[in-house]
Amino acid sequence: MKSLLMKTCLVIGLTLCGAQAPASDLSFVGNFTTADDVQLFNLVVGAPSTVTLRTWSYAGGTNAQGDTIARGGFDPILALFDSSGARINQNDDGGALVPADLITGQHYDTYLGSLLNAGAYAVSVMAYSNFSRGPTLADGFFGGGSFTDATGNARDTHWAFDVLNVDSASVVSPPPGVPEPASWAMMITGLGAVGGILRRRRSSMIFGERARFSNV
């Protein structure tokens, strides 16, 4: 009986240790001060999965939390980096995968789906045409962002960003404007260590930006 009880406890313990917390869909909102601002996020992926990054602020819509996002935000860009700072991908316009703005008729929100291994990643949100210089985060950004889109339509400063199917995400405070490459190199210092912290945050209020979460 004692041996059976020990074996049962061992099985339960192994099951609990091996269980993974369900992935989450996360929503962030905020505003830029200047069109050359860059908002950076750290992400943790607990197991190989398809992670979707997208914005809502150009055309508006309903984000992952069910919140209504107003149209009228600037034309956004998203760039995805691995834990070493190497750029994986970058997206400007989501095309048919995102709605058209009611005023301009343009599909300028971003949509980026990537099959990612377990680990830590970084995502940057920028205003067109402040692209990542590449091929690494440490290379910084070109600048030249604008709150007026390519059609000449004046936009406002708000952004709304969803990241789907990750274990956790957090807002980090980047250097203002277009920093020197050395400054961005400092931003990724320790990013790899984040991958070892597979914890999920229920809520966050960092640098005035709101993060909200739901389980899937």
Q: Over the stretch 78-119, which tens digit does the pLDDT of each residue have? A: 999 999 999 999 999 999 999 999 999 999 999 999 999 999
Kindly list the structural domains of the chain, giving each domain's residue range(s) and its CATH number in brackets, ordered by start.
22-215 (2.60.120.380)
What distance in Å separates the CA atoms of residue 103 and residue 111, rounded to the nearest whole number? 20
Summarised one tens digit per residue, pLDDT across range 121-179 is 999 999 999 999 989 999 999 999 999 999 999 999 999 999 999 999 989 865 445 45
Q: Do 183 and 149 form a contact (C-beta atoms < 8 A)?
A: no
Query: Are the beta carbons of 122 and 191 closer than 8 angstroms?
Result: yes
pLDDT tens digits for range 44-88? 999 999 999 999 999 999 999 999 999 999 999 999 999 999 999
The pTM for the full model equals 0.78
Q: How deeply is 31 buried, as exposed, middle or buried, from its count of CB atoms within 10 A (0-12, 13-18, 19+)?
A: middle
Residues of the chain by 3-state class (helix, strand, coil), percent to 5: 15, 40, 45
173 or 25: which leads in pLDDT = 25
Consecutive H or E run containing 159: strand 158-166
